[in-house]
Amino acid sequence: MAGRGTVKAYTAFNANSDAETLFKAMKGLGTDEATILKLLISRSNAQRQQIKAAYKTLHGKDLVSDLKSELGGKFETLIVALMETPVMFDVTSLRHAIKGAGTDEKVLIEILASRTQAEIREIIKASRQQGVQEATIQSDAQALFNAGEKKFGTDEDQFITILGNRSPEHLRRVFDAYKKLSGFEIEQSIERETSGGLQHVLLAVVKCARSVPAYFAECLYKSLKGAGTDDATLIRIMVSRSEIDLLDIRAAFRKSFATSLHKIIQNDTSGDYCKALLLLCGGDDA
């Protein structure tokens, strides 16, 4: 949902003046972290790109390189993430997920299941059908039923084809038809009929089709409440959803977990990293 982000474009925006403020915050002895985080989080991503360009013109230096050399730890990771364009941030996250020993399935699933068709096309040129195809709701539901509950063993390809290629609006209608046909929610069938990585992918697609904010609220809760904080997931979601639907994610979080996202971030993180995350969060729904 457009306009449901916590970060909005700054109205009295001046790229040169912001570039100067950041330059001063990093010049000389010590770094003024408070100024850096307040300024960058109160600007939209498009404005941050303009600040980057102005900084280069005025000082002949790369703003991101300077930020990296002045900041450290998780705070640095968060600020650098904010400086990437949304598409490049997704591309970088996917690249890291695929690189190295073993693939980080969680990242692949989260990004590919939750992004819109236009965003996916930008990232990997994949195609997902748009809108609701009235003519195929019933046959899709029947195909899923035939592929799983009705047969001995599971036709996983059918699940992948339908869940991976239909629009969220269409899938919500298919899930209703599926329940009438089989007596089961689609999630129950996926849990029974599939396992491992495939099961995670399919469940994520179903959750996102039902509600993207509820899906991200659950991912955030797990990232904060597991054994130790999963900072990579926390940063990725807070940054990538800050201009899209973080207000809705906050509301879904409150509804699902009877506490606020703000409160859990406050309890489970610290220092400038915590301050930056709370600013991104944009308020407490206690």
* 274 contacts 34 by C-beta, under 8 angstroms: no
pLDDT for position 140: 86
**Rounded mean pLDDT of 240-259?**
96
Reference 7, options 284, 281, 285; nearest CA is 281
Residue 193 pLDDT > 50: yes
pLDDT for position 1: 43
Distance between CA atoms of 11 and 232, rounded to whole angstroms?
31
Residue 171 pLDDT > 70: yes
Distances in Å between the alpha carbon of 219 and those of 24, 212, 253, 272?
A: 37, 11, 10, 23
pLDDT for position 28: 76
Distance between CA atoms of 1 and 57, rounded to whole angstroms?
35
Residue 156 pLDDT > 80: no
Radius of gyration of the chain (CA): 21
**Least confidently predicted of 46-55, 153-162, 259-268:** 153-162
Residue 3 pLDDT > 90: no
Residue 93 pLDDT > 70: yes
Residue 87 pLDDT > 80: yes
Please report which confidence band the pLDDT of residue 153 belongs to, taking 50, 70 and 90 as the band edges.
Answer: low
The mean pLDDT of the chain is 89
pLDDT for position 194: 81
Residue 166 pLDDT > 60: yes
pLDDT for position 270: 95
**Tokens standing for 76?**
């640095």
| Higher local confidence (pLDDT), 100 or 188 | 188
Entry pTM: 0.86
Distance between CA atoms of 49 and 60, rounded to whole angstroms?
15
Instruction: Calculate what percentage of the chain has a pLDDT beyond 90.
Output: 60
pLDDT for position 97: 83
Output the CA torsion sign for 262, 265, 271, 273. negative
- Where do the domains of the chain lie, and which CATH numbers do they carry? 15-71 (1.10.220.10), 87-126+211-281 (1.10.220.10), 134-210 (1.10.220.10)
CA atoms within 13 A on the CB side of 16: 2
- The string of pLDDT tens digits covering residues 97-151 is 887 666 677 888 888 888 887 888 887 765 566 788 888 888 888 888 887 766 6
- The string of pLDDT tens digits covering residues 65-85 is 999 999 999 999 999 999 999
Q: How many CB atoms lie within 10 A of CB 99?
A: 9
pLDDT for position 36: 96
- The string of pLDDT tens digits covering residues 200-218 is 888 998 999 999 999 999 9
Distances in Å between the alpha carbon of 99 and those of 92, 95, 103, 122?
A: 10, 6, 7, 20
What are the counts of helices (DSSP H) followed by strands (DSSP E) for the chain? 18, 0
Distance between CA atoms of 217 and 212, rounded to whole angstroms?
9
Residues 6+ apart with CB under 8 A from 208: 113, 114, 168, 215
**Rounded mean pLDDT of 17-21?**
97
pLDDT for position 155: 65
